Amino acid sequence: PDVWSQKERVVTEEEWLQKWEMGNIGFHKEQGHPLLQKYVDVLLNGRSGLKIFFPLCGKAVEMKWLADMGHSVVGVEISEQAVKEFFSEHSLPYCEEPVPEISGAKMFQSTSGNISLYCCSIYDLSSLIVGKFDGVWDRGALVAVNPCDRQRYASLMINLMEKNSSYLLVTVSYDPNKHKGPPFYVPESEIKSLFG
Ligand code: SAH
């Protein structure tokens, strides 16, 4: 397949915000992802009380699921609407505070303290701000990143990983000539060159 057909395609942050406003969020699933259920033991690897990162988190229900298992969850999402819908749909009280290191960014944290969602661009984060993670659930994240930003995204993710952390990545296999994305087509060869 001609993977170059999507190389120049860009979805702007404004377009993502509009998708949320219009309710054009077919990517959101009410049920936990079957692949997380299948591979959760690989993610956890017998460990408890992990710090788990959800890049480009939307209002993914798996955040609640992992938090309920006793892990601490950190997400990042550009849409404040998405973040607020997450907390309200799970009836979770939260508080909201500015992030001093990132102008305009806010952090929404469940009152219980185990779910923290940063409302900003992922490219504004660093391990100095959010620390490092024992596990990553990347569904609808790498495949939503604009192809021109993939290298930057992968470098950041590697930087946010603790030694011995596990990274579960979901991609979508299809003919990139037939759909302009997102989700974008990310072939396995590219995943190898991005993450080694
Ligand atoms: N992972 C989620 C959402 C996938 S859709 C799920 O499984 O349901 C991708 C999400 O990334 C959208 O909610 C979009 O608003 C958000 N997003 C896009 N670009 C972003 C960026 N640069 N930083 C943070 N969030 C971003």
For residue 114, what are the CA distances in angstroms to 75, 85, 140? 11, 17, 22
Query: Which residue CA neighbors atom 19 of ligand 1 most closely?
Result: 13
Please work out whether the CB of residue 143 comes within 6 Å of at least one atom of ligand 1: no
State the residue for tokens 């988190």: 57
pLDDT at 3: 59
Distance 148 CA to ligand 1 centre (A): 16
Please work out whether the CB of residue 67 comes within 6 Å of at least one atom of ligand 1: no
Query: Which residue CA neighbors atom 22 of ligand 1 most closely?
Result: 121
Of 75, 32, 144, the residue nearest 40 (C-alpha): 32
Phi, psi torsion values for 90, nearest 5 degrees: -105, 10
Q: Which of 56, 102, 136, 156 to mutate to test the pocket of ligand 1 (most atoms within 8 A of CB)?
A: 56
pLDDT at 159: 98
pLDDT at 5: 77
What domains are there in the chain, each with its CATH number?
A: 4-40+48-195 (3.40.50.150)
Work out the end-to-end distance of the chain between its first and last CA atoms, rounded to an integer number of angstroms.
22
Output the furthest CA–CA distance in the chain (Å, rounded). Answer: 48
138: how many CB neighbours lie within 10 A of its CB? 20
Rounded distance between C-alpha atoms, residue 9 and residue 13, angstroms = 13
State the residue for tokens 């699933």: 29
Given a cut of 70, is residue 2 above it in pLDDT?
no
Please work out whether the CB of residue 79 comes within 6 Å of at least one atom of ligand 1: yes
| 94-98 β-sheet, strand order | 94-98, 106-110, 115-119, 72-77, 51-54, 133-139, 161-170
Please work out whether the CB of residue 179 comes within 6 Å of at least one atom of ligand 1: no
Burial of 122 (0-12, 13-18, 19+ CB in 10 A): buried
> Per residue in 5-58, pLDDT tens?
798 999 999 999 999 999 999 999 999 999 999 999 999 999 999 999 999 999
Annotated binding site for S-adenosyl-L-methionine: 16-27, 56, 77, 121-122, 139
